[in-house]
Amino acid sequence: MFEDSLLDYGGRGKTKKPYTVFVSFVFQCAIIGVLILIPLIYTEALPKHQLMSFLMAPPPPPPPPPPPAPAPKVRVMPKVVQQPQEMVQPKAIPRQVAIIREEPLPPPGPVGGVVGGVEGGMGGGAAGGILGGMISAAPPPPPPPPPPPPPERVRVGGQVQAAKLAAQPKPTYPPLARQARIQGTVRLEAVISKEGAIEELKVVSGHPLLIQSALDAVKQWRYQPTLLNGVPVEVITTIDVNFTLGS
């Protein structure tokens, strides 16, 4: 605009006055100044990314890398070199060489021997013992043999008499056997303990309807202990339980 005014002024020459040119120049300078001051006063109008890039400081440079670790020192052991010994020839050979003679050892004397001792010694001796003590001392008598253990179980018969009853509950007659009019004998093999109690029972014979009642009754029987050589023993015996309808 300023240039146009100048050009116009130069072309027209005398048509414009000098104060008009001055006013136009001042007006143009004011417009240019306003255009320059507006961005400085109103910073919100500027682009934010440009403003942030202008205000933010550049990042610091990365730290330098750490120095490398020193290499471990390797201790080198000096190599020992053994030099062979040189054989040196003597300057003069002696005419006579001294001979070293060893004195003979004295003959061995008696070791712990006594007058009247037995050649080679005797076993079973003790330090500080009495001479002749082993010969005069009589050996101790042997211990008596232990009594023979009694047998675990003996069967009644021969020298072993039948065990004597101390308690004998009567068996109960089974109702079904009574209705069927079944009677007879149930034979059992029993093992009587050392205390006289029934330990084991085994059925030898008998009617099936009578066996259980006989077993229940005999289990409650008690006997006097049976002695053999004064020692109580277990006894194997046979027991008969009779079932009669008239009883």
Task: For residue range 122-149, list pLDDT tens digits in order.
Answer: 555 555 555 555 555 678 888 888 876 6
Mean pLDDT for the chain overall:
75
Lowest mean pLDDT among 4-13, 42-51, 73-82, 170-179: 4-13
pLDDT band at 42 (very low <50, low <70, confident <90, very high): low
By C-alpha distance, which of 175, 173, 156 is closest to 239? 156
For the entire predicted model, the pTM comes to: 0.39
Instruction: Choose which CATH entry (3.60.70.12, 3.40.47.10, 3.30.2420.10, 3.40.50.261) describes domain 153-243.
Output: 3.30.2420.10
Q: By percentage, how much of the chain surpasses pLDDT 70?
A: 61
Q: Is the confidence at residue 4, as pLDDT, over 50?
A: no
The confidence band for 12, taking pLDDT boundaries of 50, 70 and 90, is very low
Closest listed residue to residue 25, CA positions, set 16, 15, 36: 16
pLDDT reported for residue 213: 93
What's the pLDDT at 221? 92
Nearest in space to 212 (alpha carbons), one of 247, 176, 180 = 176
pLDDT at 207 exceeding the cut of 70: yes
Structure tokens at 46: 């500027």
CA 89: distance to chain centroid?
74
- Listed residue (161, 225, 215) closest to 193, CA to CA: 225
More confident call, 35 vs 244 = 244
Most confident listed range (65-69, 83-87, 94-98, 112-116): 65-69
* Residues 113-124, mean pLDDT to the nearest whole number: 57
- CA angle, 94 then 97 then 101, to 5°: 165
Residue with tokens 């201790």: 75
- Give the SS3 label for residue 70: coil
The residues of the chain that CATH labels 3.30.2420.10 are 153-243
Report pLDDT for 2: 42
144 neighbors 210 (Cβ within 8 angstroms):
no
